[in-house]
Structure formats: structure tokens, C-alpha cells
Amino acid sequence: MNLDRLRANIRVVGYAFVMTLKQNVIDGFIIFTILIQPLIIALLALWMMDDQAASHAIFIVVGSGLTGLWSSLLFISGNSINVERWIGTLEFMVAMPTSITTIIFGKNLAHVSQSLISMLLSYFLASIIFDLPLTIARPGLFLLSLLLTIVAFVSFGLIIAPIFVMNPGVQGWQNAMEFPVYILSGFLFPIALLPGWTTPVSYVLAPYWAAKALHGASSGESSPDSILIDLGILIMFSTVYILISRRLFKAMLHKTRVDATLGLQ
């Protein structure tokens, strides 16, 4: 890829990012998903923990923020191509010289980045309203974990968006896919509470490694080496997701350009 092309793609990602943010601030469903729901989950968890809330505060803040990230990825990034189909712009997008993957990457980056607000809000809720002590034990590693979590979630979004647009039947299961990831990824309680047979399922979920790294870095309970291993696995997953997404986007473009059937589904 030459430098001009790279610059052009970055510009497209930037425009898609800004445009998506502007559209999202007036969308009630998105506001609920990234602000209200994680905040209510944080409130619930803080009250449920009762006298243990102080010692678990940072765990709850990070965990409820992750629920916002996952729900946003599932419902908003998952529909990032479908939305174009619903408003009739998908055909124009695939006919453009700019790769649709680049545009969807920019959109997903906006969705995932904005959902970090949920973590920030939970932080203020626990800190200001509940007056709980909140400290991040390894801030450097926490920031690195957050950055790689965004990359992994955006990459995952590049898989589910074309799957949802090509298979409306799978999209029908969206509602059923929200809580299992909260549970299996250990967002708000350790997966040790679950039966042993579910552990391998957790291990193949990138959100599990993201949660493990973020919880480990924020609480300081994981050693730096352990966190770096988690992040290495997260990078591996991101790479695999991007490779798979290339194939999925190719199949989707074929359906649109050659079969001309995508918009009719």
C-alpha cells in the first residue's frame, strides 16, 4: 500500500468515525446501550456487593464498562452494515472505489470508542456518588489493555457485521447473545463460579482476555507478565478476526455486486 493510499484510507476512517459519532448522539437506543444500561448494571452490582463494594469497586467499574463495550459491539457495530442496507446506501458504498471495510472500520471504531464512556460514567458513579476508593494499580498496563481491547472489539465487529447482514436468521439471535458473553467473559464475577466445562468456551472469547487483562491491571492482582500474556492472546485474536473478516467482506461484496441479492434480503 503506497503512502497516498494509506493517507486516503485514514481520512475515510476519520470521516466515518466523526459522522458516526454525530449520528449516534441523537440515537436513543445507542444512548441506552452505552450510558444507561452499564450504569444500571454498575448500580446493581454496587448495591448487591453491599459492604464488599469498596473492595470490589474498581472491579465493578471495569466490568460494567465492559458490558457497555460488548452490548455496543453486538447491537450497534453488529448492525453497522445493516443500517446502510436499511437506508438504501449499501449499494452506493460497495460501488465506491473506497473499500467498504475501511468505512465499517471507522464506524466500528466510533461505536467502540464511544462506549468507553460507560466505563468513565461508572467510575464517576462509584467515586462521587458512592464515595468509594478507586485506584488503578498498574495505569500503564491498564491503558495498553484498554487500547488493545478497542482494537480487538473493533476487529470482532468486522466479523459480526457482515455475518448479520448476510444471515438475518443469525441476527435474530442477537438478543440471546448479550448476557452469555457477560457471563463467560467474567466481566462482573470470576468464571470460576461457572461449571468447568464452560472454561474452554471462555478461552476462545476475546472479551474474556480483555476482561482478564483489564481486571488484572486495574486491581493489581495479576503480575505484569501475566497481563502481557493476556494482551498477546488478545492481539492474536484481533489478527485472526481481521483475517476472517476479509473473507466475509469478500463474500458479502460478491452477494452485492455479482448476485445483486444483498439489498433484497
Partner 1 sequence: MNRPLVQNVRLFIDGALLSYIALFRWLRPAAYLASKVIMPLNQILFFTLLGMYATGRDNASFYVIGNALQLTAVSGIYGVTMSVGGDRWDGTLPYLFGTPANRAALFLGRAFFHILDGMLGVVLGFFWGVVLLGLDLSHTSLPTLGLIVLVTTLSSSGLGLLMGCLSLITRNIMFINNTVYFLLLIFSGANIPLDSLPLWMQSFAQGLPLTRGIAAARAVIAGQTVHDVVPLLGGELLIAVVYTSLGYALFRWFEHQAKMRGTLEAI
Give the binding site for partner 1 (CB under 8 A). Answer: 28-29, 31-32, 36-37, 40-41, 43-45, 47-50, 52, 169, 172-176, 178-180, 182-183, 188-190, 193-194
74 in Cβ contact with 177 (< 8 Å): yes
Alpha-carbon gap, residue 17 to 192, rounded angstroms:
38
Q: Which is nearer to partner 1, 51 or 225 (CB)?
A: 51
Minimum CB separation of residue 6 from partner 1 in Å reads 39
Q: Which is nearer to partner 1, 195 or 200 (CB)?
A: 195
User: Which of 67, 30, 61 is CA-nearest to residue 207?
Assistant: 67
* Residues with Cβ within 8 Å of residue 6, at least 6 apart in sequence: none
Minimum CB separation of residue 186 from partner 1 in Å reads 10
Minimum CB separation of residue 29 from partner 1 in Å reads 6
Q: Which is nearer to partner 1, 23 or 52 (CB)?
A: 52
Q: Which is nearer to partner 1, 54 or 189 (CB)?
A: 189
Alpha helices in 125-205 (DSSP H): 139-166, 168-171, 178-184, 199-203
Q: Which is nearer to partner 1, 28 or 196 (CB)?
A: 28
Minimum CB separation of residue 254 from partner 1 in Å reads 25
DSSP state of 98: S
Minimum CB separation of residue 63 from partner 1 in Å reads 9
User: Which of 169, 171, 165 is CA-nearest to residue 262?
Assistant: 165
* Residues with Cβ within 8 Å of residue 183, at least 6 apart in sequence: 194
Residue 248, CA distances (Å) to 12, 107, 157, 160, 260 in order: 21, 17, 12, 9, 16
Q: Which is nearer to partner 1, 106 or 186 (CB)?
A: 186
Kindly calculate the radius of gyration of the chain based on its CA atoms and give it in whole angstroms: 19
Minimum CB separation of residue 183 from partner 1 in Å reads 5
DSSP state of 51: G
Q: Which is nearer to partner 1, 60 or 158 (CB)?
A: 60
Minimum CB separation of residue 52 from partner 1 in Å reads 7
How many other C-beta atoms lie within 10 A of the C-beta of residue 39?
18
